[in-house]
Amino acid sequence: MTKKEKTFERLKRNPRDVTFDEAQRLLKDFGFLERHPKGGSRHYIYYHQSLDRIVTLTKGTKSLPVYQVKDVLWSIKRLRSSHEER
């Protein structure tokens, strides 16, 4: 099992204790691109050319809200399934 797979599984088991850096690294490992916030915002946007939705993460808190972690997991699962269909 690769490091990104281990991180993915750990996030699935415990979505309550995930930092911005962990989620960011995982998204980038799966090929997501980052759009930096404008105007002092703390919201970073991630997108992938194979998906039709974005993932938003809030930087500056101790841990991410659970709904943001679940959005990361859902997007990665969807990306994996779209690659398996090909």
Tell me what pLDDT residue 79 has: 92
Closest CA to 57 of 31, 83, 21, 30: 21
pLDDT, one tens digit per residue, over 16-73 is 999 999 999 999 999 999 998 888 889 999 999 999 999 999 998 899 999 999 999 9
Q: Are 54 and 63 in contact (CB under 8 A)?
A: no
Instruction: Provide the residue ranges of all domains of the chain, joining segments of one domain with +.
Output: 3-85
Tell me what pLDDT residue 33 has: 97
Residue 86 has pLDDT above 90, yes or no: no
Q: Are 34 and 21 in contact (CB under 8 A)?
A: no
Assign a CATH topology to domain 3-85.
Metal Transport, Frataxin; Chain A (3.30.920)
Q: Who has greater pLDDT, 75 or 86?
A: 75
Tell me what pLDDT residue 38 has: 84
